[in-house]
Amino acid sequence: MKPGTVSWARRVTGIAFALSFSMSTPAAEPKLTYPPARHAEQVDDYHGEKIADPFRWLEDDNSDETKAWVTAQNQVAGAFLDAIPARSKIRDRLTKLWNYERFGVPFLQGGRLFYTRNSGLQNQRVLYTADARDAEPRVLLDPNVLSPDGTVALAGYSVSEDGTLLAYGLSRAGSDWEDWHVRDVVSGTARPDLLEWVKFSNAAWKKDGSGFFYSRYAAPRAGEEKKGVNEFQKLYFHKLGTKQAEDTLIYERRDHPDWGFGATVTDDGRYLVIHVSKGTDPKNLIFYKDLASPGSRVIDLIADFRAAFSFIDNDGPLLFFETDLDAPRSRVIGIDLRQPAPAQWQEIIPQAAESLQGVSFVSGQFICRYLRDAHSVVRTLEWSAKLSRVLPKWEVSLPGLGTAEGFAGQRDDTETFYSFTSFTAPGSIYRLDLETGKSTVFREPRVDFSPAAYVTRQVFIHSKDGTRVPMFITHRRGLALDGSAPALLYGYGGFNVSLTPTFSVTDLVWMEMGGVFAMPNLRGGGEYGTPWHEAGILARKQNVFDDFIAAAEWLVENKYTTRERLAIQGGSNGGLLVGACMTQRPELFGAALPAVGVLDMLRFHKFTIGWAWKSDYGSAENADDFRILRAYSPLHNLRPGVRYPATLITTGDHDDRVVPAHSFKFAARLQECQPPDGPPVLIRIETKAGHGSGKPMNKVIDEKADQLSFLARIFGLKGP
């Protein structure tokens, strides 16, 4: 939707609702009449305990009843949000700030430069190429012309060795499903190749450019595209110019429906390295295939799920891997295919004091990205094949406390590119000269604000069990610590994901409104390596919620805000975090923004890729896990008559990762539990949108404007 058009929520019609407003003071909340939600006689037996699931019917997103409920909920939310005086001002400011150039990290392939760019308010990023680093760039692929509403997104791409062929995946309406195509880089013309039902896959070209390796699932049954379980992924080779039905099956495991496959071709083209995953568990297997020997079989190199192994590169038959085997903060090892027994494995780069987050091998150097208390440190070490060891080279000089990403390239490159961002520094692109170690600015965005007007600090709080947890806090310089400021506490805490300082237009507008932004690094993430992750999963998941609650209490105790003016926010697993904390400590928060959340912990594994999350959550099919999940499942811990914080739930009707039924059922239950005089409980369901990736910029701005407007209404803020 373009600026100035009618709100998304005002275009729907259907079930009637009642709504009256009193906007005189922040405490005077609108009295809402929520759409009725039918109670079904659905009761399930979990290991002898009967659990009612009266809103099971909302899992059927194709039913007329569910569609009518969604329409009515959007009407209620839309009317509430449209009536907020600050909304247009907030949206205008978001639009102005977002209108700046944003660049993806470039890379060189076959002498050509490739990178993505958004000019500012384009719905989707555009892929560019240039015949050399300093040559004039041209558009190679513009997804914005592929759909009138901007809902077709570039989901992934890979360039052939000589830089003349592009394989790329397109996602539609936010779905995880992708169609892969091929384009000639020189002429820009599309080739006839089409690959369907691809999900969670890259494309790995053979060095001769004859085709590429990729992974896909079988076509789902009609009506199950958005919610059917994804199992039995297979690895294929697609030969250019042939139909998908003719693709060569490289590997499958009919005895392991939960195994997934990712392919990498070594830089010298000799080996196909296959990464075998089991759900979202970091532990994986490694297989390989000798591409120089026609008809060679796939060989198990690491055949048990003992640790995480990430392939980096090779030096002939010596393969380099980043691994947390016997190194909780990770290290680099070498495995010689001629002597592959674990006793013969060589330690290349030992574990450091910081957590190793990624390694690339460029120009004969290992470029290692570390986290030191959740901010980036980058070091390079030179590989000596003659000595069979590394020699320290230098630490990359970064602009400050923030996040550095990129550093890709091939072994013969003499340069690489990376991005750097922080809470007050938009993502700039740097060129790193690997011969001198000097970084220079390659592309630098210009945003309409003064970074010097804001300050960031890192504090360390103590959780319920005494664990030391870091937290970043950013706000306007000169903030009075008297508790008068509103605060937004954002978290995730799961799946080994590290939260690091990044620039956000939404957070900037929040701070312009006088707000404090705080981000703790909760257990369950990867900020301090394997032990930190494992301390927040399965039977220890409550540690994540305790960390977040401790962060909230610290902000109140140190007079950054008050309980009444404290909002919490998180998406996906972070939506679970918000849902669990607002049900465990409803009096601690003034507002909650759970987005695309995992909120029904007893049934999450029954949809799409949900089964893959058992490594972090466990499963209600197991009696011990059931008791743990039941204790914190947001849906199942809502209680009638409890005064919950003002809540705006957001989801997308095409979310096929965390299906919207989680948010639907949680909203229906929360609305019936909230006292009649309690704060508002709204759900905003975006159409033609998924879990978040590839969402058009106009939809992003609308959603963020609604979230900030909601907080402005609850906390009595005037806007930026």
The set of catalytic residues is 572, 655, 691
Q: How many H-runs (helices) and E-runs (strands) does the chain carry?
A: 10, 41
Structure token pair of residue 395: 């630490």
C-alpha span between 639 and 438 (Å, rounded): 59
Give the ranges where 61-100 is alpha helix by DSSP (H): 64-82, 87-98
Length of the chain equals 720
C-alpha span between 635 and 487 (Å, rounded): 26
C-alpha span between 498 and 517 (Å, rounded): 17
C-alpha span between 720 and 115 (Å, rounded): 33
User: Beta strands 487-490 and 516-520: pairing type?
Assistant: parallel
The CA-to-CA distance between both ends of the chain, in Å, stands at 22
| Among the listed residues 266, 286, 198, the one whose alpha carbon sits nearest the alpha carbon of residue 234 | 198
- Would you say 694 and 156 are in contact if contact means Cβ atoms under 8 Å apart? no
- Would you say 590 and 715 are in contact if contact means Cβ atoms under 8 Å apart? yes
Question: What SS3 state is found at 634?
Answer: helix
Instruction: Determine phi and psi for 146, rounding to 5 degrees.
Output: -90, -10
Q: Dihedral sign for Cα 577, 580, 585, 586, please.
A: positive
Q: How many other CB atoms are there within 10 angstroms of residue 458's CB atom? A: 15
| Among the listed residues 647, 466, 642, the one whose alpha carbon sits nearest the alpha carbon of residue 546 | 466
Q: How many other CB atoms are there within 10 angstroms of residue 346's CB atom? A: 14
Burial class from Cβ neighbours inside 10 Å (0-12, 13-18, 19+) for residue 488 reads: buried
Amino acid letter at 208?
D
Amino acid letter at 350?
P
Q: In what order do the strands lie in the sheet with 178-184?
A: 152-159, 165-172, 178-184, 190-198
Instruction: Determine phi and psi for 75, rounding to 5 degrees.
Output: -65, -45
C-alpha span between 132 and 556 (Å, rounded): 54
> Which residues are within 8 A (CB) of 619 and not within 5 positions of it... i.e. 6 or more apart?
605, 625, 626, 629
